[in-house]
Amino acid sequence: MEANLATTNLLLGIMAAVSVLEALVLIGAGIAVFVVYRRVMELVGGLEQRVAPSMARVNAILDDVKDVTAKVKEETERVDHAIRTTMDRVDDTADRVRSNVRAKTSQIVGFVRGLRVVIEGLLHFGSRSEPPADVAGRVM
C-alpha cells in the first residue's frame, strides 16, 4: 500500500502545484483587468475633458439657432399677416374701382345709346313717310 500512497501523494502534490499556478494566473488576470480598466478610465476622462468644451460650444450654437429660428418664424408670420392685409385692401380697392367704373360707364353707355336712338330716329324720320307699324301691322 505504500506504493499507492506514494502515487497518491505525488498526484496530490501535482494538484496542489496546479492549484497554486491557477491562483497565480487568476491574480495576474485580475491585475491585468484592473490595469486595463484604469487605462480605459483615463482615456474616457481625457475624452470628456476634450469633448466638454466642444459640447458647450455646440450647445451654445444650437441655442443661437433656436433663437434665430424663433425670430424667423415670428417675422414670417408678421410678413404673412402684412401680405394678407395688403391683399385684402387691394381686393377691396379693386371692388370699389370696379363698381365706380361700372356706375360711371353705365351712365355714359346709357347716354350714348339714347343719343344713337335719337340720331337713328332723325335719320329714318326723314327717309320714311309712313309711321312705324307694330307687330300686328297696325299703324301706330
pTM recorded for the entire structure: 0.42
pLDDT at site 105: 85
CB 130 within 8 A of CB 139: yes
* Residues 6+ away with beta carbon under 8 Å from 132: 140
107-113 contact pairs (CB < 8 A, 24+): none
R_g of the chain computed on alpha carbons: 55
| pLDDT over threshold 60, residue 7 | yes
- Percent of the chain past pLDDT 70, that is, above it, reads 87
127-132 contact pairs (CB < 8 A, 24+): none
Phi, psi torsion values for 137, nearest 5 degrees: 95, 5
Average pLDDT, the chain: 87
- Could you tell me the pLDDT band of residue 49, with boundaries at 50, 70 and 90? confident
Distance, CA of 63 to CA of 49 (rounded, Å): 22
CB 132 within 8 A of CB 140: yes
Higher pLDDT, 26 or 46: 26
| DSSP type of residue 130 | S
pLDDT at site 100: 86
- H helices of 1-140, where? 2-127
Beta bridge partners of 133: 139
